[in-house]
Amino acid sequence: MHLRLRVWRQASATATGKLVEYDAPNISPDMSFLEMLDVVNERLMEKGDDPIAFDHDCREGICGSCSLMINGAAHGPMKATATCQLHMRSFRDGETIDVEPWRAKAFPVIRDLVVDRSALDRIIQAGGFISAATGGAQDANAILVPKTAADAAMDAAACIGCGACVAACPNASASLFTASKISHLGHLPQGQPERRRRVLSMVNQMELEEFGGCTLYGECQEACPKEISIDTISRMNGDFIRAGLTDWR
Amino acid sequence: MSRALRFYRSAIGKKVVMAVTGLIGIAFVIAHMTGNLLAFAGPEAINSYSHFLKSTGELLLVLRAVLIVAVILHVIAAAQLTIQNRAARPMGYVDREPQVSTWASRTMRWGGLLLLVFIVLHILHFTTGDLKPAGVFSTADVYGNIIASFRIWWVVLFYLISMIALGFHLYHGAWSSVRSLGLRQPSPNPLQRRVALAVAAIVWAGFVAVPVAVFVGLVG
Ligand code: HEM
Ligand code: FES
């Protein structure tokens, strides 16, 4: 394949960036999007140019490191697919592909396509855990979990924290991320003791990080590589209303 | 800080206020639209309905107060959320393609603003009579006011455009408000909004029926 890329280049957090055009001939349709960028980077380095910086780690769709706004869609055109799992055959030969970093006040650009997503970590730190005495593992069936609850919790727990929901949301809201983290514990018996405190602290942290609010556009659900449902957001709101009414004085 | 203020400080709290006031608005527009259709039953029907409403005295005042407070809260929360949401993305994308969001959801702000203008002009037009596009107004003769006004093409046009805005606002709002309040059960297709479509279509059709019927001469 022969592609043309327009890639956001920005030397540092404080530098001004711009879209730079690159010619990318001889790209195999079987490459992943990140492998394609690797090839482009090798060619850049051979010429003595700076390679394009982008985030990646597992390259198998489970770590949440990869990102990229590709042709105006978070993680590109394939549904339920992270950028590392996106193949070049999803594009047309000769196509011009725009590649931009996630954009949000809470996600400042560090360099080129790499943004700082630690705001999501701080939301988890605010309450995305359960407090339990550790020790020897207890019997797996000591706490009964209804199948429906286990399934719902697993669906929410599929969130890999990539931030595509924020990137895709016109309000740059982290509601889908926060809601899935709240749901995956809130569906389980182990998550109940801290359920109300959890929603209040995590929502509070989400707002401190200056994410936007939810208008229910639905873009986040479409962008999510793990297909997390906006139903979780409705659930978060329900928890928040109940907790706000009972726990605040 | 009081519980209510703390609640309102969060974006979810503001959305809850928007949802509750929006649902009050939906209940009102459905009732109002139904009342308007009495115009088809002739002058006595709608004039005596209007008379009946005014005869309820204090109750009408309370209802009006609730509606005005609801609109004010709805608009203030809308403005605050809009500012917060814009600030959350100071630098936009060069290339951004909306994937699934509806046009209705993306026009809540401008459409809402048009509705605000409409609400003010509409009250000045049919409630207080300060605006007299046809030159005549009588508090006792609602039917006469309707007929005189909706013979004027630009009055009809303004009402038609505003009601399209209302239809779109409700198509998103009737669906999102229930979700904002956390009342929605898990759904296999969460973007589905059949009930909201019905609410929007019925309210839209009911409201445009009267001006259009008067304009084409079916009524009056
Ligand atoms: C007849 C009058 C109106 C009705 C029945 C109505 C109804 C609604 C409803 C039900 C919602 C959904 C709330 C939610 O998702 O929780 C909504 C949202 C909204 N309304 Fe209205 N509304 C009216 C007038 C207005 C006006 C006058 C404005 C602005 C000047 C406005 C601006 C908005 C905005 C911006 C939203 C979206 C808020 C967000 O999600 O960020 N509305 N409206
Ligand atoms: S690199 Fe790990 S999810 Fe894409």
Q: Residue A148: left (phi > 0), alpha (psi -120 to 50), or beta?
A: alpha
Question: Domain residue spans in chain A?
Answer: 3-110, 118-245
Among partner residues B15, B88, B108, which is closest to A172 by beta-carbon distance?
Answer: B88
For the segment A211-228, the average pLDDT, to the nearest whole number, is 98
| pLDDT tens per residue across span A71-113 | 999 999 999 999 999 999 999 999 999 999 999 999 999 999 9
- Pairing state of beta strands A3-9 and A96-100? parallel
Question: Is residue A90 within 8 Å of A235, Cβ to Cβ?
Answer: no
CA distance A247 to chain B (A): 9
Report how far residue B30's alpha carbon sits from residue B199's, in angstroms, rounded to the nearest whole number: 8
Q: State the pLDDT at residue B61.
A: 96
| Structural class in CATH, domain A3-110 | alpha beta
Cα B61-B111-B17 angle, rounded to 5 deg? 50
Q: State the pLDDT at residue A249.
A: 57
Which atom of ligand 2 has the smallest separation from the CA of A162? 3
CA distances from A23 to A7, A53, A91, A221, B161 (A): 11, 17, 15, 33, 48
How many CB contacts within 8 angstroms connect chain A with chain B?
151
| pLDDT tens per residue across span B161-192 | 999 999 999 999 999 999 999 998 888 899 99
CB contact under 8 A, A216 and B179: yes
Cα B77-A214-A153 angle, rounded to 5 deg? 140
DSSP B123: I
Which atom of ligand 1 has the smallest separation from the CA of A215? 40
Considering the four listed CATH numbers 1.10.1740.10, 2.130.10.10, 1.10.1060.10, 3.40.50.11540, the one that applies to the domain covering A118-245 is: 1.10.1060.10
- Count of C-beta atoms within a 10 Å radius of residue A111: 18
One pLDDT digit (tens) per residue for chain B, 220 residues? 688 888 999 999 999 999 999 999 999 999 999 999 999 999 999 999 999 999 998 999 999 999 999 999 999 999 999 999 999 999 999 999 899 999 999 999 999 999 999 999 999 999 999 999 999 999 999 999 999 999 999 999 999 999 999 999 999 999 999 999 999 888 889 999 999 999 999 999 999 999 999 999 999 8
Q: In this complex, is the C-beta atom of A221 within 8 Å of any C-beta atom belonging to chain B?
A: yes
Q: State the pLDDT at residue B1.
A: 63
Among partner residues B84, B97, B190, which is closest to A73 by beta-carbon distance?
Answer: B97
Give the closest residue to A240 by CA, choosing from B22, B185, B181: B181
> To 10 degrees, the CA torsion angle through A248, B4, B5, B9?
80
Q: Which residues contact A99 (CB under 8 A, 6 or more apart)?
A: A5, A6, A7, A8, A68, A69, A70, A113
Interface list for A 125-184 with B (CB within 8 A): 152, 168, 170-173
CB contact under 8 A, A171 and B90: no
Give B9 Cα–ligand 1 centroid separation in angstroms: 18
ipTM: 0.94
Report how far residue B201's alpha carbon sits from residue B97's, in angstroms, rounded to the nearest whole number: 27
Residue type, B35: G
| pLDDT tens per residue across span A122-173 | 999 999 999 987 888 888 888 999 999 999 999 999 999 999 999 999 999 9
Which atom of ligand 2 has the smallest separation from the CA of A56? 1
- Count of C-beta atoms within a 10 Å radius of residue A210: 16
Report how far residue A163's alpha carbon sits from residue A175's, in angstroms, rounded to the nearest whole number: 10
Q: State the pLDDT at residue A70.
A: 98
- HEC string of B29-88 equals HHHHHHHHHHHHHCHHHHHHHHHHHHHCCHHHHHHHHHHHHHHHHHHHHHHHHHHHHHHC
Residue length of chain A: 249
Among partner residues B7, B85, B176, which is closest to A216 by beta-carbon distance?
Answer: B176
| pLDDT tens per residue across span A195-215 | 999 999 999 999 999 999 999
CB contact under 8 A, A236 and B12: yes
DSSP A172: -
Report how far residue B107's alpha carbon sits from residue A139's, in angstroms, rounded to the nearest whole number: 54
Question: Is residue A186 within 8 Å of A198, Cβ to Cβ?
Answer: yes
Q: Best of B71, B72, B74 to mutate for ligand 1, by most ligand atoms within 8 A of CB?
A: B74
Q: In this complex, is the C-beta atom of A187 within 8 Å of any C-beta atom belonging to chain B?
A: no
- Chain A partners of B105 at a C-beta cutoff of 8 Å? 215-218
Q: State the pLDDT at residue B96.
A: 93
